[in-house]
Amino acid sequence: MNHLIPAIKVSNFSFYYDNRKILEDISIDINQNTITAIVGPGSSGKSMFLKSLNRMMEPEERVKIEGRVEFFGQNIYERRVNLNRVRRQISMVLPKPNLFPMSVYDNVAYGIKLVGWRPKVELDEIIESAIKRAYLWDELKNKLRKSALELSSGQQQRLCIARALAVNPRVLLMDEPCFALDPIASRKIEDLIQNLSSTYTIVISSHNMQQVSRISDFIACFEKSEDQIGRLVEFDSTSKVMSREYVRIK
């Protein structure tokens, strides 16, 4: 892969919760328009790491951080950073669809309205475009006023992706996006993620190595050592990590 440009550059990042060290000394470049998969055993800090990339875990009394997370050169943990802007540009999708009990349309509109008022015509256009980018338009164009909770789990998760896309992010963080889905719905999400990577930078956490080998360009392997601290132990292109994995399994 030529001309890799880091969208997010993490340097010597450590994360503490209630004075307990959860992640230690993570350094990694998340390259623009690539899919980076975070893998590792349970409780190795994958979710905390993802949430650290858009400052969802805000440093306060219980949360402390060390090191830097730079988004196109700007440290997002600097005080003067506009947090709403960071979270808009680095958008997150959670493991289980977290839609509100409102219509399909209103769910996607929700995030846009938080950002500011827009005329109805413009809102309609943004919502249509986001649903199209999530490859859901054909399925949902006649159901925009129906409750989002009536959709299948796979459709709900893709609608969450549409909602994340509607605010025009540059990076999509996806924490086990296929967690609650059957294999067919999972494959649709995988296809969608691959298509989106030409426009967006994507970071996904997953327990499913087959899925990771199918869709990612880079793999970051986290481990939890005896001291219960999560560390990055390997980061390389997917082909290299998978070939080493193959040798280990053999």
Residue of 183, 132, 181 lying closest to 153 (CA atoms): 181
Taking a C-beta distance cutoff of 8 angstroms, is the pair 158, 77 a contact? no
Question: Judging by DSSP bridges, how do beta strands 230-237 and 218-224 pair with one another?
Answer: antiparallel
124-163 footprint of ligand ATP as x/- string (CB under 6 A): ----------------------------------------
For ligand ATP, the binding residue among 10, 22, 203, 212 (CB under 6 A) is 22
Query: Does 44 engage in binding with ligand ATP (CB under 6 A)?
Result: yes
Does position 19 interact with ligand ATP (CB under 6 A)? The reply is: no
Q: Which of 31, 40, 93, 177 binds ligand ATP (CB under 6 A)?
A: 40
Binding residues for ligand ATP, total number by CB under 6 A = 10
Residue 46 or 133: the one with the smaller Cβ distance to ligand ATP is 46
Give 42 or 183: the residue with its C-beta nearer to ligand ATP.
42
Pairing between β-strand 6-17 and β-strand 218-224 as defined by DSSP bridges: unpaired
For position 46 contacting ligand ATP by CB under 6 A, the verdict is yes
229 is an interface residue for ligand ATP by CB under 6 A: no
Binding segment for ligand ATP (CB under 6 A), chosen from 1-9, 43-51, 82-90, 104-112, is: 43-51
37 lies in the binding site for ligand ATP (CB under 6 A): no
Q: What's the distance, Cα to Cα, between the start and end of the chain in Å? A: 28
Q: Mark residue 141 as left, alpha or beta (left: phi above 0; alpha: psi -120 to 50; beta: remaining).
A: alpha
211 binds ligand ATP (CB under 6 A): no
Q: What is the DSSP string of 182-239?
A: -HHHHHHHHHHHHHHTTTSEEEEE-S-HHHHHHH-SEEEEEEE-TT--EEEEEEEEHH
17 near ligand ATP, rule: CB under 6 A:
yes
Does position 47 bind ligand ATP by CB under 6 A?
yes
Please report whether residue 220 would count as binding ligand ATP according to CB under 6 A: no
231 belongs to the binding site for ligand ATP (CB under 6 A):
no
Q: Is 225 a residue that touches ligand ATP (CB under 6 A)?
A: no
Packing angle, helices 183-196 and 153-166, rounded to 10: 20
The Cα 44–Cα 61 span in angstroms is 22
The two three-digit tokens of residue 5, written as one number: 């440009």
Q: Give residues 48-107 in contact with ligand ATP (rule: CB under 6 A).
A: 48
5, 12, 27, 43: which one contacts ligand ATP (CB under 6 A)?
43
Query: Of the listed pieces 25-33, 37-45, 75-83, 134-142, which binds ligand ATP according to CB under 6 A?
Result: 37-45
> Do residues 29 and 237 lie in contact, with contact meaning Cβ atoms separated by under 8 Å?
no
Helices (H), the chain: 46-52, 83-89, 104-115, 120-133, 137-140, 153-166, 183-196, 209-215, 238-249
User: Which residues make up the interface to ligand ATP (CB under 6 A)?
Assistant: 17, 22, 40, 42-48
